[in-house]
């Protein structure tokens, strides 16, 4: 079961505090998502995940929270698309920098659970609670070329999720955690969003460009070089996602025809 396997991986790295796992925080995105019928599958997933995480926790393991890191203040939950839950495999993994959420709130990476909706206005209360400054949300979704189908086949998480005793990200363990997730979910494409994920996976980007791509998080407040190159990188990503999705649809259609012929 995917929820159990992910919980085991995450508990091995001790990425969540006991209060987060037990729901003893001021705001908890999973509890709030019970109000959204189309995301009830995610609520069920995380209820199983939390139960198994508690069982897998090692009481002797030190939990270090983020204190002095410039891209992470806490750790968000990853988003798991419906088809990823059903099949135990992700077609796409999106990796962002880290969560700037306060530790008293347990949110979800860039509120990507709402990527399945074309109009997020009905869910404004969620954004007010977890991401009050949403000026980056719509441009981000548009630049990445996110559609409902892509979202449902995606796993979305952050790079900076393991802190060291100084309260800053442990680069080695952060990458090890992601590699474990990539091995488990076996995606066709890993999209590294932002400079920190890109730099951490520079080796993979160079050796396996068919599986790894990098794009900026935003074109605002970035170096001139990124402002110039960014639009082309976004365009290349959108084209790649379109082709992969088209190939997947053709593959599924072909196999459906084969089953019909056999019947």
pLDDT, position 55: 92
**Are 117 and 37 a contacting pair, CB within 8 Å?**
no
Q: E strands, 75-165, where?
A: 79-80, 92-98, 105-106, 154-160
The pTM of this model reads 0.93
Summarised one tens digit per residue, pLDDT across range 91-101 is: 999 999 999 99
173 located within any domain:
yes
151 located within any domain:
yes
245 is written with which tokens? 């999705």
Summarised one tens digit per residue, pLDDT across range 188-218 is: 999 999 999 999 999 999 999 999 999 999 9
1 located within any domain:
no
225 is written with which tokens? 């070089």
122 is written with which tokens? 């009905």
| Percent of all residues in the chain with a pLDDT value above 90, rounded to a whole number | 81
**Are 174 and 159 a contacting pair, CB within 8 Å?**
yes
pLDDT, position 179: 98
pLDDT, position 119: 93
pLDDT, position 248: 72
Q: What contacts 24+ positions apart, CB below 8 Å, involve 14-18?
A: 14/57, 14/58, 14/61, 14/62, 14/63, 14/64, 14/162, 15/75, 15/161, 15/162, 15/177, 16/53, 16/75, 17/63, 17/65, 17/103, 18/57, 18/63
- Among the residue ranges 21-25, 106-110, 233-237, 252-256, the one predicted with the least confidence is 252-256
* Beta-carbon-side half-sphere exposure of residue 85 (alpha carbons within 13 Å): 18
- ∠ CA 142-147-153 to the nearest 5 degrees? 130
Summarised one tens digit per residue, pLDDT across range 219-255 is: 988 889 999 999 999 999 999 999 998 877 676 555 5
CA dihedral 64, 70, 75, 81 (to 10 degrees): -150
pLDDT, position 222: 86
Per-residue pLDDT band at 86 (split at 50, 70, 90): very high
pLDDT, position 249: 65
21 located within any domain:
no
Element (H, E) at 181: helix 171-185
254 located within any domain:
yes
* CATH number of the domain where residue 167 is located: 3.40.470
Tell which wins on pLDDT, 25 or 260. Answer: 25
Number of structural domains found in the chain: 1
pLDDT, position 261: 55
Q: Are strands 154-160 and 92-98 parallel, antiparallel or unpaired?
A: parallel
245 located within any domain:
yes
Per-residue pLDDT band at 258 (split at 50, 70, 90): low
pLDDT, position 209: 96
Residue 188's CB is within 10 A of a number of other CB atoms, namely: 18
pLDDT, position 253: 58
Structural domain including 68 reads 63-262
**Are 93 and 144 a contacting pair, CB within 8 Å?**
no
31 located within any domain:
no
For the chain, the average pLDDT equals 92
Summarised one tens digit per residue, pLDDT across range 134-164 is: 788 999 999 999 999 999 999 999 999 999 9
CA dist 109 and 78 (Å) reads 6
List Cα–Cα distances, 114 to 65, 138, 223, in angstroms.
27, 11, 29
Residues 156-171, buried b or exposed e (16+ Cβ, 10 A)? bbbbbbbbeeeebbbe
58 located within any domain:
no
């Amino acid at each position: 079961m995917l929820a159990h396997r992910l919980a085991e991986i995450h508990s091995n790295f001790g990425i969540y505090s006991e209060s987060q796992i037990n729901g003893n925080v001021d705001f908890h995105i999973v509890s709030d998502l019970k109000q959204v019928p189309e995301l009830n599958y995610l609520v069920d997933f995380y209820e199983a995940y939390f139960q198994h995480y508690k069982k897998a926790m090692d009481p002797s393991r030190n939990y270090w929270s983020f204190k002095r890191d410039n891209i992470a203040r806490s750790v968000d939950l990853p988003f798991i698309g419906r088809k990823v839950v059903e099949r135990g495999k992700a077609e796409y993994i999106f990796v962002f920098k880290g969560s700037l959420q306060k530790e008293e709130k347990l949110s979800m990476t860039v509120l990507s659970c709402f990527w399945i909706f074309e109009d997020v206005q009905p869910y404004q209360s969620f954004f007010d609670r977890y991401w009050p400054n949403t000026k980056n949300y719509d441009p981000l979704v548009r630049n990445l070329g996110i559609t409902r189908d892509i979202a449902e086949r995606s796993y979305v998480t952050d790079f900076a999720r393991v802190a060291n005793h100084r309260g800053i990200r442990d680069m080695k363990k952060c990458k090890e955690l992601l590699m474990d997730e990539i091995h488990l979910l076996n995606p066709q494409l890993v999209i590294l969003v932002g400079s920190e994920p890109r730099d951490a996976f520079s080796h993979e980007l160079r050796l396996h460009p068919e599986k790894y791509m990098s794009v900026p998080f935003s074109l605002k407040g970035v170096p001139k070089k990124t402002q110039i190159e960014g639009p082309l990188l976004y365009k290349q990503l959108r084209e790649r996602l379109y082709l992969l999705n088209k190939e997947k649809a053709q593959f599924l259609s072909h196999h459906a025809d084969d089953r019909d012929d056999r019947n």
